[in-house]
Structures are given as structure tokens and as C-alpha cells.
Structure 1
Amino acid sequence: MAAALGTAAAVTTAAATGNEEGGEGGGEGGSRRRGAASSGIIPPSQKGSPNQTPDDFTPPTPDNDLIAQTAGQVDQKSGPSIDAQPNTPVAPTTVTALDGTITNATIADVAAANNTRRREINIGRFGKRQSKYEQVFAGLPAGQHDASLQSSAYLTYTVVNNATYNIDACTAWCDTVEGCVMVNLYYEFNNELLDFVFSEKSNLKCAAYGDIHSAAEKTNFGGQASYPQVGNETVPLTYITQSSGWALRDLEDPDTPDGYELVFGPTGGANNAPGYMGFAFLDKYDVDACALLCNGRGVDPNGGGCAYFNIWRALVDGIPTTYTCSMYYLVADVSTAVNFGQGDLVVTLSRGYARKDALIDGGFEGYADCDDFCFVTSYANWIGTSPSGGEDDATFFFFLPYAHTGHGSALLGAASDSDALAGTITPAKPLKTDNGAAYVVQCFMYSGFSGPQFEAPAKVDILWNGQRVGGVNGANAQYTFVEASVTATGSDLLSFVGGAAPAWTFIDDCHVYKA
């Protein structure tokens, strides 16, 4: 992988030699030679050196120790409190930790902190229902004090008719709760609200969870005062009996988030891959929420926007503890899913999702007609166009020093310094998009080839169906991330227009993602 352009490099005297060999000449050829001589720079067509050379940059990988350390600090265990009303809506997924810092924020707020585009939040699910329920653990016999779950991914609760120990009513209600895969059914005695205030007048609680838990997590024994103090009378304390757990026997994969595709999973290994951008802990296993965090993650100056996420569940001492959403600007796969945990933390239910790219070959790697240096005006995936009187004003290079990553890049501006006209590059085919959907165009651009003096007038416009939606003006000394927001029509035309040699602009690593 080639890296972003970095430290300065001297321009050789070969430019002057080349210009002298060309002579003065006349007509169009003479004009081209005078253009090269005017800048005194070896142009890209002659394998000229950019004003900067590649940095030695290694894309970061996850800090697994920090993730494990944070998992030991965060507390995502909860259940129905003694004063909570039944049948409250399931709360949106929240972020309980972000890059090692404990927090309690909504997905929308975290995404908005890095991205001004706010989005609707959907409640995700641990898995889709496929079959009936089975008992995970039994309650203690009637008359013996028991405990209810205090566990991760708590959703909401209801009360069911307590004339009998109503298992069927509880599991049927779970089917109506988005994300519910397990219920904890139990009696709660000495709760004034259940006995006299809430309209149901039932003390048989049915709590819904978005994960499957065991009897080891039955840690809420009650013991709270619910009734008011009257004189010197002893206030009875709450207690729990017959606490059992019922979970779906089988689960299917969750729905793939819009704009993404499933790469692998579920497996028992999390990605340990390059291009890492950070992590968030979620209060439930929610692939939609993780996708929203990826979309709104912001920009890595070297790698660009988030292109991939890995979501997984952490078991600590065998107990579901938290749900990790790790984000990357490079797409990973199962070959790097080699983090199986640290210490008493075990990785489970790891899935990887890549952002769908509507742009084919946005890194210009499809042009590979040589082993070292070559360029062309068009190839199978891209078309370069020069205006009338121009020559090689839009070209595609195979040359590692010109690329942001890999070996391919596009160039706007006459490659041989033959004219000062703007070129146009466009994909060979219209983009296949969803009509009416919002997308983002992302690219890296570099206009520091000939130094600040000659590159000052550099300019590139991003056109979407012929209308300008963004771009850059002026010189930038290294590859810089550029983004534009667009609305799709279903068959969209994307183009980049600019360059005026010697104010060349290189373009690389472009993407068109659904926003």
C-alpha cells in the first residue's frame, strides 16, 4: 500500500534538458513545448517527481487491550425497577463507551458529533425469530425467595395475568417486542404499584431481553421498600419468587443494514485488521446502530471515511457483558478475525459488514498495463476527456509515487504540460443507485505536484448529473479528503472537472456510499 504524499523532494535539471531538446517549433507542438518550459518542472507524463514523496505510514489496528479494559469498567446490566411502569417503549440503542471513555449517549448524538447529517434510529435485534421458545433456566419452587435477571440488553417489561404462572402469555408478548429473544417471568411481592396503582393489578412480571442469559445472572433479590411508612409499622420489603427464563430455540442472522453487505459471520473472532478508526460499546446487539455510527464516524485524515464495521458480543466469565462496534476505513474479512478475546473476555457472534460502493474502481487500480510507469486517457472503468485544443488533460496513471494508495490514480491537467485547459474524468457507466436516496461522494485529492506557486490556481469541481456539488480550490500539499452530499436518481452521472497545468490535481480512492 502506498501512503499519502509527505516530505519534499528536489526537482532535477532534466526538465531544462528536455525543453531545450524540443526547440521553439511552431503551431500546436511549439505551444506545448513553451508550456513545459514556462514552469521548468518535469511533468507527470515524463515521470516527474512530485513536490512530496510518500510517507512511511502504517494503517492502525485495534487496541484490543483498551477494549478489554473498558469492558471491565462498563456496567450494562439492568432489569425492571420497582417503580417502572409496564409496557414502556423500548429505548433506542445507546452508546455506553466510546474509544475507551464511558458515556451514555444516543446513536444520533454520537454520529452528529462527527457528521452533520442526522438520521432516524431503528431498534436492531440480536437475531430474527425462527422457532418457538425453550426454557433456559427454571425458577425456585413457590414459597422460596428467588431472584430476577439483572443483565445486558434489557428492553422493557409487561405484567401478565397472575391467576396462573402464565408462560404462554409472556412469550407471546415477547413476539410483539422488537428485538426480544428472551423473557424472564417472575412474581414480585410487596410492590404497591403492581398491587394497587398500575391498571393491570398483577404482580407477575415478564421482562424482555435482547440477549440470552443464564441463571447465573439472577442477582436481583428485591429487598426494596415500596409501601409508604405508616406510623411505626414495619414496611414490607419486595421479594421475588419463581423466576424462570425462556428463550428462542434458534435465531437467524439479523437484517443487513441498508447500504451494507455481510462479509462474514457469525464467528468467534473479532477483526484485528488495518484501517482501524475506533470503537463504541452498544447497550444491545444492534447492527443498524453500528452502521449509523460507521456512517457518521467522521474522517481519518489518511484513510477517509468509515467503510466497514465489525460488531461482536463480549462474554466475561461466560456472561454477556457488552456489544462492541469497531469501525475501519479499509474493508476487512474473516481472515483477520483472529481476536478471540483476552483473559476472561471471550469474543462471540462476530459479524463484519462492508459499505456498498456505487462507484466501480474508485481507486483506479483497474488500469495495470505496465509494471512501473505508464498512463492512458481512458480504460475499461474510466473515461478521460480533453476540451477542444487540449491534449491529455485527463489521464490515468499506473505509478506508485502518484497514488494515495495502491498504484493507480487519475490526473486532471495536461500530463505533458502542453496546455492550461481543464480535463474531465467520468466513470465508464452511470452509477447504479437507489432513486431518491442520499449518498456521499468521497475522494482524496492532491495538487502539490509543482509546489505552492504553480499550484495556487488548482481547482476541481465534483459534478453530479451535470451540477456542481463540491470540490476543492487552491493547492494542497498532500492528499486531502474531499466529500460531497448528493441525492440519487437511480442512474447517476459523476464527473470530476479541473486541472490547469502546471496546476495539476491527482485524484484517488473515491467512493460513493449511501448516507
Structure 2
Amino acid sequence: MLFATLPLFFAATALASPLRQHEHFFKRACATGPDTAADFLAWPAYSAAANNASTPLGYTNTFTDLHASSNADGYAGYTTLSTYDVSSCAARCSASSDCHAFNIFYERSPISSSPSSFNSSCTSTATIKCVFWNGAVTTANARNTGSTPNGFKVVIAGSNGYVLNTVNAPSGYTSPIYLNNAAIQAPLNCVGKDTYLGFQIFTGAFDAQKCADACSGQAAYSLAHPPADGSAPKTCKFFNTFQELKNGVVVDQKCVLYSESWGKGVAKNTGFAYGGDKFTVGLSYAYSNATDAGVCVKA
């Protein structure tokens, strides 16, 4: 568990002017150099495209120019592009309710035959892929360095990852604050009271609506069962939802409930180590009740 107090249990950047004999992203001319995996990984145009890419509005860049693609949670399909166009990936991701992150990269892939306009020694293509994910893409889960089908070496270059800063706000809640790879670690409020109301765990596709329902359900129950001492019931007005990752692999979605809203300044919980395992936070968002955010006020 990621809380010490609780028990354990993609703007567009195309390759403007291809270098050497690269004429198109699908075709890689080999006349002036060896058509090898090492040559592909060292090709400067791929790094240049990745490093010069601008982060699209509404996204956070999580890694840049890796020689590996994501092996993340919640695969949501992919498309191929004619240029290294991060904004195109972002637009397609934003248009899908199943996409919260994407990974764009060059992949060295085999070709069955070389076009007549290219040197016949070419055996590879450079395909630009945009892969969509329901979960976070991070350096930790960028583990796919390629494969060797039928003796051909597939490798990855210029790999960039991007995570959506916002997801659709559930009804009755404000647009979320994106907390990146940290969870809320709330202190006592302005009058020294604890605002923590517990947490729930969900599996399957990441969905903020699950937490909104949990928060609303807690509030309704507390109002229906007020404290016997006559004090005001503590109702959920804020929640933080995130993915918990174990050694870079998503374990579950956690929803942590609070009676008051908190800002990004207290999102300091990035995880912990236990035994030989490392638990971290990914895809963390915070939502407040749209009509009553529960801001602490001293009497």
C-alpha cells in the first residue's frame, strides 16, 4: 500500500529534411551504410525527431528518445504514421475514451522485397508507430526493446511517451488535477483534524468514475448515518485515484477518499520499497466535489 498510515497488503515534429538516403519513413536506403540493427539505433535523425518533439497541449512527456517501447497496462491499439507526428498521436488519443497515454517510436521491421528504386541489399523498413494505452506509460514500463522473428532483429528508436493530463470529469466533480507519479499525502487540516476517509481498490481498466461513485456513496452513507454524538458527518468531497505499480507493472487502481480538498503541493507520496519489490504511483489524478470542495476554514 502506498500510504504509511495504512496496513500493507504525443505539437507535430516531422522529419523535415531526411538525411543521407532516407526518402520516406517506410523506406530505408542502405546503399551508403550497413542495414543492421546497430545502424538503425545509431541513426541521428530518429533521435533528432524525438528530442525536438514538442509536448502536445494537455499531455505530459514521461520519457524521450528511448530504445524501447512501452509494455504498459490497458493496450488500446495502434496506428502507423507517415511522419513522426506527435500531435497526430495526441489527437487520436484524445478522441478515444479508452486512451490516457500514448507512445510514439520508430521500429525497424523486415520487408519481403525491396522497391526497385532502392538498393536491393535493404532488408528493413523504418515504421513509425503510435501505440495507445489506457494506463500510464513510464520509463519503468518501457521494456520492449524488440525481438528477433525468423532471425531478423526488430529494434526501437526515438521512443517518446506521453500521458494525458486530464481525463473526463465524472458528473458532479471538477476537472482533475494531474499529479503525475505522486499521490496525495494529506496532513491534518487547518484546525488539526484528519480528513482521510479510507480507500478502495479496483482492477480492470482505469476509470475515474469508479472513484467518483465510491466518494458519492461514502457521502450518502455518512449523511444517512450521522454520528451519535450529534457532530456533523464527515462526507467525501475529494478523491485521489491512481495506479499502483509493482516493479513497473500495474497492480490495481486505488481510490483514496477525503472530506476536504487538497492541492498538488501535498502530492508527495511516490511509493515505497518492500522486500525486493518497488511500489510506485502512476496516472494519478485528484478530483473535488463541484458544489462543495470542502475547503478548511478556521472558526
Normalised to the residue count of structure 2, the TM-score between the two structures is 0.47
Larger Rg: 1
Higher strand share: 1
